[in-house]
Amino acid sequence: MTLRAIPLTPDAFAPFGRVFDLTGTPGEGVMPMSGEGWRDSYTLAPLIDGPAHLGMTQGPSAPWDCRLMERHPRTEEALFCAGAAIVLAVAPGGTAPAPLAETLRAFIIRPGQVAVMNRGVWHDACRGLKAPTPYYWMATCGLGPDPWVEVSGGPVRVLA
């Protein structure tokens, strides 16, 4: 099975969580500001629904075979780029013991965008759109194990 990543938009990502665009456009929960030679934006509400730890992951490059996914039932998780676009593969949360290959979706997160996954959404580690790429994540850590589980009916080839 093959899956092509699509651009991250609030509508497309709605089944999995929320999207914020910090590139300076007002609305969608973001407040932009600017001054002499600078621009700034921030979210109007806290990014996730609990105390947050900030982490950074170095991901390899797309394309890849998505074989394993994890989920966090006790925290939301926000993902954002460090400087280059990344690709996120997700599957709906729920009571199933494993993500289902036919439900996977993939999104391209560009610099300035933030994807906040709902609690329990299955996800793989992000990959760089064009090259190995570091990215940041924010979640509440230390809440217990969140094991990596094989994709049922997988692997799924994720193309950027």
For 101-110, the pLDDT digits (tens) are 999 999 999 9
Q: For the chain, percent helix, then strand, then coil, each to nearest 5?
A: 5, 50, 50
Tell whether the model's pLDDT for residue 24 goes beyond 80.
no
The pTM is what? 0.95
Domain residues for the domain of 69 are: 2-159
pLDDT at 28 over 80: no
What confidence tens digit (pLDDT) does each residue in 43-90 have? 999 999 999 999 999 989 999 999 999 999 999 999 999 889 999 999
What's the whole-number mean pLDDT along residues 126-130?
A: 97
State how many domains the chain has. Answer: 1
- With bands split at pLDDT 50, 70 and 90, how would you rate the model's confidence at 33? confident
Question: How buried is 1 (Cβ within 10 angstroms: 0-12 exposed, 13-18 middle, 19+ buried)?
Answer: middle
What pLDDT is attached to residue 85?
98
What is the rounded CA–CA span in Å between residue 92 and residue 71?
Answer: 10
Between the two ends of the chain, the Cα-to-Cα distance in Å is 14
CB 84 within 8 A of CB 111: yes
Q: Kindly report the CATH number assigned to the domain that includes residue 85.
A: 2.60.120.480
Residue 93, phi then psi, degrees to nearest 5: -75, -165
